């Protein structure tokens, strides 16, 4: 039987970040990932990081390329009815955000764990979590056709929404909250220069749009679409024409188009599971919560979970105290629900969710209020740039 202090289920950014932080404190871990390493590192995901997430990655020793290549943004734009309002994050919240693709974070963390001789096991199947309330928990899994068993003190469930970790909590204990939105995001990645130096969020009668980037030469654009649409219905020409139609005229004339190198459709939903711990099992990231991408909180929430869990594990192995571990779910959920509220609010503000003219007039009134009120703009900036890691309660 294998033995480690912490078994980490899931080899995405949350799992690798936790493994690296634990390694820095001399705490052993084994990471089990269902997919091949090449697949995990090639996944196209979001890339807008709060400063606190950047600081945590730097602290973990995986921030050298991030600091060199990341694009620091001191604000972003919101466009509606032909006007554009800039939200000055630095002036209103005292913080900036950094554009750096999650694909790059995955590679940086993976490289750092390999350099540290981390035990990362890919293409692991049939994972089962056992004995969660006993002195030693167990994880059984199949690797290279051989059934193996791993004994551990704790299990970190970082295996995403469809993973085994959350499903291992008894149904009578776990409670889930969900909101499914009647729209999706069609995302296109193209090797073209960004529309502007900062992100632009667009509220339009035809639907939401977002102009983002991954670098100074690679852009990421999004359009609101129906959740049952398919990427085959959106050839490049149709996508660019629709994006131009939703942009303010001054921006549409500057749009540079090109062949899509990635195209995907992601439905929008909010999901929170409570509690985020059961016995030796602690959930982190998408295993416990999903937010619509409008507020760019998914990866940042996962990093915040990891920070709280890491602190609890370090306290336990240093002193034997379980205070922070026992408080993990309460602390993490306090932050999760605040981010869920913000993502819900920003999503309902910016998207056309129905054909009700009353709703649209309310959206326009809210946008106008935000443009004319320093207090409203500050609330948006504070939530967008990220609430304090230490304000978990």
* Domain boundaries of the chain, sorted by first residue: 2-73+96-179+269-368, 181-267
Q: Which CATH number fits domain 2-73+96-179+269-368: 3.30.1300.30, 3.40.50.720, 3.50.50.60, 3.30.750.210?
A: 3.50.50.60
For 119, the 3-state DSSP assignment is strand
CB-neighbour burial class of residue 263 (10 A; exposed 0-12, middle 13-18, buried 19+): middle
Rounded to an integer, what distance in angstroms lies between the CA atom of residue 182 and that of residue 204? 16
Q: What is the pLDDT of residues 267-324, one digit of tens each?
A: 999 999 999 999 999 999 999 999 999 989 999 999 999 999 999 999 999 999 999 9
Q: What is the pLDDT of residues 196-228, one digit of tens each?
A: 999 999 999 999 999 999 999 999 999 999 999
Rounded to an integer, what distance in angstroms lies between the CA atom of residue 183 and that of residue 29? 40
Q: What is the pLDDT of residues 331-379, one digit of tens each?
A: 999 999 999 999 999 999 999 999 999 999 999 999 999 999 999 999 9
* Among 194, 220, 196, 198, CA closest to 209: 220
User: Residues 93-119, buried b or exposed e (16+ Cβ, 10 A)?
Assistant: bebbbbbbbbbbbbbbbbebbeeeebe
The residues near 85 (Cβ < 8 Å, ≥ 6 apart) are: 77, 78, 79, 367, 370, 371
* pLDDT exceeds cutoff 70 at 391: no
Please, which pLDDT band fits residue 45 given cuts at 50, 70 and 90? confident
* pLDDT exceeds cutoff 70 at 44: no
Catalytic residues: 73, 201, 293, 297, 384
Q: What is the pLDDT of residues 139-188, one digit of tens each?
A: 999 999 999 999 999 999 999 999 999 999 999 999 999 999 999 999 99
Beta bridge partners of 220: 189, 212
CATH 3.10.640.10 holds for 181-267: no
Please, which pLDDT band fits residue 385 given cuts at 50, 70 and 90? very high
The whole-model pTM stands at: 0.96
Query: By percentage, how much of the chain surpasses pLDDT 90?
Result: 94
Predicted local confidence at residue 393, as pLDDT: 41
Q: What is the pLDDT of residues 121-148, one digit of tens each?
A: 999 999 999 999 999 999 999 999 999 9
* pLDDT exceeds cutoff 80 at 46: no
* pLDDT exceeds cutoff 70 at 75: yes
Predicted local confidence at residue 42, as pLDDT: 79
Mean pLDDT of 5-21: 98
């Amino acid at each position: 039987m294998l033995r480690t202090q912490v078994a980490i289920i899931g080899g995405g950014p949350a799992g690798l970040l936790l493994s690296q932080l634990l390694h820095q404190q001399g705490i052993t871990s084994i990471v089990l990932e269902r997919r091949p390493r090449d697949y995990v590192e090639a996944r196209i995901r979001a890339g807008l990081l709060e400063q606190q997430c950047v600081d945590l990655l730097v602290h973990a020793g995986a921030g050298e390329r991030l600091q060199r290549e990341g694009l620091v943004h001191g604000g972003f734009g919101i466009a509606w009815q032909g006007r554009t309002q800039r939200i000055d994050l630095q002036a209103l919240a005292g913080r900036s955000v950094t554009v750096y693709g999650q694909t790059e974070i995955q590679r940086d963390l993976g490289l750092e764990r390999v350099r540290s001789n981390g035990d990362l096991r890919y293409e692991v199947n049939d994972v089962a979590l056992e004995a969660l309330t006993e002195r030693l928990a167990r994880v059984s899994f199949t690797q290279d056709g051989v059934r193996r068993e791993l004994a551990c003190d704790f299990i970190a469930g970082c295996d995403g929404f469809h993973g085994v970790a959350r499903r291992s909590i008894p149904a009578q204990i776990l409670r889930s909250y969900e909101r499914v939105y009647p729209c999706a995001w069609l995302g296109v990645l193209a090797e073209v220069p960004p529309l502007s130096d900062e992100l632009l969020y667009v509220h339009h009668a035809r639907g939401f749009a977002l102009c983002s980037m991954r670098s100074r030469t690679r852009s990421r654009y999004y359009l609101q679409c129906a959740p049952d649409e398919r990427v085959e219905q959106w050839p490049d020409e149709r996508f660019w024409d629709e994006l131009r139609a939703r942009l303010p005229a001054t921006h549409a004339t500057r749009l540079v188009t090109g062949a899509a190198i990635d195209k995907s459709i992601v439905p929008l939903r909010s999901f929170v599971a409570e509690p985020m711990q059961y016995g030796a099992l602690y959930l982190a990231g998408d295993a416990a919560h999903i937010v619509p991408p409008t507020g760019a909180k998914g990866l940042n929430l996962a990093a915040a979970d990891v920070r709280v869990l890491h602190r609890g594990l370090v306290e336990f192995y240093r002193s034997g105290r379980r205070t922070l571990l026992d408080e993990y779910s309460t602390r993490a959920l306090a932050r999760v629900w605040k981010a869920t509220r913000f993502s819900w609010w920003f999503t309902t503000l910016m998207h056309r969710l129905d054909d009700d003219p009353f709703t649209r007039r309310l959206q326009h009134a809210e946008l106008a209020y935000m443009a004319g009120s320093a207090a409203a703009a500050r609330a948006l900036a504070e939530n967008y740039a990220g609430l304090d890691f230490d304000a978990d309660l």
